[in-house]
Amino acid sequence: MIATFCLSFTYEILQLLFELGSFDTDDLILNTLGGVIGYLPIKLFYIVFKKNGTIRSQTKGQ
């Protein structure tokens, strides 16, 4: 969530500095929310398949 917020904040600051659009707080909130919503299915997928044993660790020795 923090990474999504930071990336969105960076884009908004760049828009403000280079006058390539408008700095909108709602963009910051919606982009962060979208990043979190997009992350949830990936996390759920990982939990389900890790529980079933179909995802294996890539580290040596296991």
**pLDDT computed for residue 51 by the predictor:** 78
Q: With contact defined as beta carbons under 8 Å apart, do 31 and 4 qualify? A: yes
Mean pLDDT by 10 residues, the chain (62 residues): 93 92 91 94 89 67 52
**pLDDT computed for residue 62 by the predictor:** 52
Please, what's the b/e burial string for 20-59 (b: 16 or more CB within 10 A of its CB; e: otherwise)? Answer: eeeeeeebeeebbeebeeeeeeeeeeeeeeeeeeeeeeee
Rounded to whole angstroms, the Cα distance separating 53 from 15 reads 45
